[in-house]
Amino acid sequence: MSFKTVLKYAVAASVAANFTVSAALAAGEVNLLTWEGYADASYIEPFEAASGCTVSATYVGSNDDFAAKLAAGGGVYDLISPSIDTTSIMIDAGFVETVDTSKIAEWDNLYEKFRTAGGINSGGDVYGVPFVWGAIAFMYRADKFETPPTSLDDLWDENLSGRISLWDDKSAIYVAARRLGHTDIYNLTDAQIAEAQASLIGQKPLVRKYWATAGELVDLYVAGEVWISNTWAGYQSSLIAEQGIEVVEFIPRENAEGWMDSWQIVKDTPNTDCVYKFINMMSSEAGQCGTSAVTGYSVANPVAARACMTQDQFDALHQDDPDYLDALLLWEPLGERIEAYTNAWNAVKSAN
């Protein structure tokens, strides 16, 4: 029985034990702008039944989508789940409001390094509730490689022309920069960004497609069109495995990026009651283990993880070692440099 299957059984038991339907529930809603896998029916439906809050989700394919959609969407969304390199942008833009941590039952059980992260703290206030974390690993089809890839150079291998994919995201600049030997990837100079851009333009004829969603990359692997790519570690690989195709994730010798996602409350949401109910569920065993069962990601609440994971599962997700992220290149806000990175990536995509 697979890791995810075991965890799903545990989550189902947890949801059944911890959620009961009240006879007198106040109707409400919570509208999410979030990532795939963060609003799965396995834990959303029990929450809706127990809370009286209807959940709807709009999915993003990149952290760049959050600001654009909030700027254009008015009062459409109540909660967003950006990564740690984007949370401060939401704060500075005035898109999100402070979190009353006294209303978050599991707050003190979340990893301290996440609760105190600069990306969700500003001016003595908290603007986010840490949720899940992991790596932007790389992945390949096991049946297509006699010698397993170990380097980013493999994504520039002409012998793999038409079988390569990269995430349609400015983080592609990070990938190219690391391959070129630049380790301070969040503080690249103009010359280094230009060098990474040129490298990606040179790679472009080898790329089958820049993937935008988890499902798109899964389909490319299942169809045999892509053999190697970057990936949201744990998620797409498990979906591909469910199709009977063996894929292997790896951290290349040039390292990989790390990320942490948090729930942020959209400013002036009219659905505050349901918002806090939702955050509390997602911070509890039901939401933490439910999301991990669906995505394969590590979670921010190790106490909740202990309640539903075996020791092997706990260890495999580095739940006893959040400093694992320190071994990766944890995403950082780009500040005023974000335009330079974004423009470089857009130039790659528009190049002939």
How far CA 133 is from CA of 163, 202, 239, in Å, comes to 28, 32, 18
Residue 283 neighbours by CB distance under 10 Å: 24
Mean pLDDT by 10 residues, the chain (352 residues): 40 42 56 96 97 96 94 86 96 97 98 94 97 96 97 98 97 98 97 98 98 96 98 94 96 96 97 98 97 95 94 91 86 92 97 92
Q: Which residues pair with 207 in a beta bridge?
A: 164
Asked whether the beta carbons of 231 and 217 are under 8 A apart, the reply is: yes
CA–CA separation, 280 and 103 (whole Å): 8
Give yes or no: residues 264 and 117 share one domain.
Answer: yes
Give yes or no: residues 21 and 79 share one domain.
Answer: yes
Give yes or no: residues 171 and 274 share one domain.
Answer: no
CA–CA separation, 245 and 223 (whole Å): 10
Give yes or no: residues 240 and 343 share one domain.
Answer: yes
* pLDDT given for residue 86 in this prediction: 96
The total domain count for the chain is: 2
273: CATH: 3.40.190.10
What is the pTM assigned to this prediction?
A: 0.87
Give yes or no: residues 81 and 216 share one domain.
Answer: no
Q: Which domain holds residue 211?
A: 134-257+332-350
